[in-house]
Chains A and B, each alone.
Chain A
Amino acid sequence: MSQRETLNGKLPGGAFLGRALHRIGLRGRGLVIAIPVLWLFLFFLLPFLVVAKISLSEAAIARPPYLPLWNWDDGFLNITLNFGNYLFLFDDPLYLSAYIESVKIAAVSTVITLLVGYPMAYLIARSAPDTRNILLMLVILPFWTSFLLRVYAWIGFLKGNGIINNILMKIGLINEPLVMLQTDFAVYIGIVYTYLPFMILPLFANLVKLDQSYLEASADLGARPITTFFTVTLPLSASGIIAGCMLVFIPAVGEFVIPALLGGPDTLMIGRVLWNEFFSNRDWPIASAVAIVMLVVLVIPIMLLRKAQAAEAEVQ
């Protein structure tokens, strides 16, 4: 019980606290784990259950704008579970196409981010330690300014008389401005730009650990650098690729700000649908159902990630 003794010794009133915690079966290791578990319970599980509950109730003009799930009536407990909200989501093609569109935009953005981020991460990992720190700094630097501000800045670049169009017209490549803002193209640019560091950092962390002797062994056995890349470097960085892709894909699916600011009227992403249901239609149950379904959709890639991580842990 050495942990408990140190706890008792260090904290004022620790003896009492220690005994109390001990009585409910918490000490040392358990105590350390209890804090994040409590945090997740309070700020993730509980809100999730509230949302799940609302998604099963009926919308009403009231405050809050839904009917209670259960009521006590004359000795009867009436529980009303309304699955209509979920059925409605599959009834109205709007929701289905919004989900598909979101997953599509997120997936395409993730692939582009990977294609842009991999060479950058590779270069940073292979550069001299001094240069490496500077390059990493440059990747992280944009986080020092507001995310919203940076997305607004892209409007300045992409709009009709924005910087890009002005330059292209000046040098005579085009005669009239290109329509870039309020298109899917702008949304892709916004997502790739914003999430690029989330791709680069896990990839870098993986590639920097790559043992150079694997590459030398590959060359020694007759593989040209390009073959070595595809047969050794790429497979060995798989866990970094998966981690980076998840960090981009998952938030990109539910992205609201970027499509709202840069996207056009036909950019239909689930984040915007959710916003509309919640704030414009004030249909909390439908909005909650949309959120729950989105979560279920995202559980699949998260499980894939867990599986990949477990496989890698086994190798090491």
Chain B
Amino acid sequence: MTTSQTSTTAKPWDAPDAVPFMQIKNITKKFGSVVAVENVSLDVYKGEIFCLLGGSGCGKSTLLRMLSGFEVPTSGQIIIDGEDQAGVAPYDRQTNMMFQSYALFPHMTVEKNIAYGLKRDGLPKKEIATRVTDILSLVQMDGFATRKPHQLSGGQRQRVALARSLVKKPKLLMLDEPLGALDKKLREETQFELIKIQESLGVTFVVVTHDQEEAMTLSSRIGVMNKGEIVQVGTPHEIYEFPRNRFVADFIGSVNLFEGRIKEDGENHVVIASPEAGTDIYVPYAVSGVEGQQIAIAVRPEKMEISKADLGDMRNRTTGTVDEIAYMGNVSVYHVLLDSGKRVRVSQSNRTRSNEDAPTYGDRVNLGWAGRAGVVVTA
């Protein structure tokens, strides 16, 4: 396999001639006068794990329900594998869904639950039996075939629900908060298993989640939603490092936003006057804007330095007082009160077991960050 091939298969959304597997075109959904989803367009490619990420009520679940046919779009078009889904009933769609509540039929055994969809397709009994056995071993649930859902733990139910939605080999699998009901440790284990299963079957996943960590680890690309609209689509790296606007910057991870105005608009740099930061901020690349324009700089806490000593080599510097320290084991998060009254979060990884020079409560500290550490957000 050559490098160029790998890159096209790994990033089909960057290839100019790639045909999207699923296209959402200008979808709008209104409930009465409430607009749940507004003019959303989205392309998802074969083999992707695409995450729709957003807070509650952002319209991500409504979008998913339109994909599976439980809601009819007010306007717009959904095309899956070249077929327009308008007027296609849920039971005629070649997509499957894993429900947030799992929705396992309580009166049926694990086996019967999984066989349910295959039976509806009228497959011969023998084939149903082998496919059920195969999928059960794929999700590591062999030996549980004759249990009823209420005899299973939350994690086991999640596996059965996954098996039931995968056994029909859907073109597209939709997962509504697939890990939401699991506790943290189990969730982390399951995330990677989910990716492994997806890779082994080659099914395209569309995942809805409100958990940004889940979205970051699972997905090939993320679509961040806010108030019924998709605000940014990109790889987890793009979303985290290059947020397009204040909402995305703030929603994904934690961030320090310094508001300011463009003071100097150079050929390959800008200087932003930010009274909030207590300093002029230097950005070593051009920004489309005019002098005096309101703008913000987003700096992630882990990209800032904190020290009681002078940080002379840093391009951007300011000072403040340590107000709070959250020790989290691997990192310590400092809440620093700048002289402007702005609160800044700075995280430092604890590489040594104890650091005599580490700032403590009430210390005057110097903060600094490199020119490229911050991202300019205009919207």
Contacts and interface: CB of A to CB of B under 8 A. Distances in A.
Given A221-B96, A315-B150, A213 B103 contact: yes
Given A213-B101, A216-B70, A216-B99, A221 B107 contact: no
A218 B104 CA distance: 10
B107 A235 contact: yes
B67 to A, nearest CB: 11
Nearest to A238: B107
Contacts of B101: 211, 213
Interface in B76-122: 89-93, 95-97, 99, 101, 103-107, 116-117, 120-121
Interface stretch (A76-84, A168-176, A222-230): A222-230
Interface string A222-257: 111001000110011010000000000000000000
Contact of A220 (B68, B104, B105, B150): B68
Interface secondary structure of A, over-half rule: helix
B63 to A, nearest CB: 16
A216 B106 contact: no
Interface in A276-316: 314-316
A42 interface: no
A108 interface: no
B90 A220 contact: yes
B116 A221 contact: yes
Contacts of A60: none
Nearest to B120: A222
Nearest to B70: A216
Contacts of A213: 99, 101, 103
B99 A223 contact: no
Contact of B103 (A216, A227, A315, A316): A216
Contacts of A231: 116
A232 B105 contact: yes
A224 to B, nearest CB: 5
Nearest to A232: B105
A221 B99 contact: no
Interface string B40-60: 000000000000000000000
A213 B181 CA distance: 16
Given A213-B99, A213-B101, A217-B105, A315 B116 contact: no
A222 B88 CA distance: 12
Contact of B168 (A218, A222, A224): A222
A313 to B, nearest CB: 11
A236 B104 CA distance: 12
Contacts of B68: 220
B120 A223 contact: yes
Contacts of A218: 105, 116
B164 interface: yes
A219 interface: yes
Nearest to B115: A221
A117 B216 CA distance: 52
A41 interface: no
B244 interface: no
A214 B104 CA distance: 7
Interface string B312-323: 000000000000
B150 A221 contact: no
A228 to B, nearest CB: 8
Contacts of A214: 103, 105
B107 A220 contact: no
A222 B96 CA distance: 9
Contacts of A227: 120
Contacts of A211: 101, 103
A222 B91 contact: yes
Nearest to A215: B103
28 contacts: A214-B105, A216-B90, A218-B105, A219-B69, A219-B89, A219-B90, A220-B91, A220-B96, A220-B97, A220-B165, A221-B91, A221-B116, A221-B120, A221-B164, A222-B91, A222-B120, A223-B116, A224-B91, A227-B120, A232-B105, A235-B107, A236-B105, A236-B106, A238-B107, A314-B150, A315-B106, A315-B107, A315-B148
Given A216-B99, A219-B70, A221-B96, 8 more contacts: A211-B103, A216-B103, A217-B99, A219-B89, A221-B91, A221-B117, A236-B105, A315-B150
Interface of A: 211, 213-214, 216-224, 227, 231-232, 235-236, 238, 314-316
CB-based closest 7 A-B pairs: A221-B117, A222-B120, A217-B103, A213-B103, A219-B90, A219-B91, A235-B107
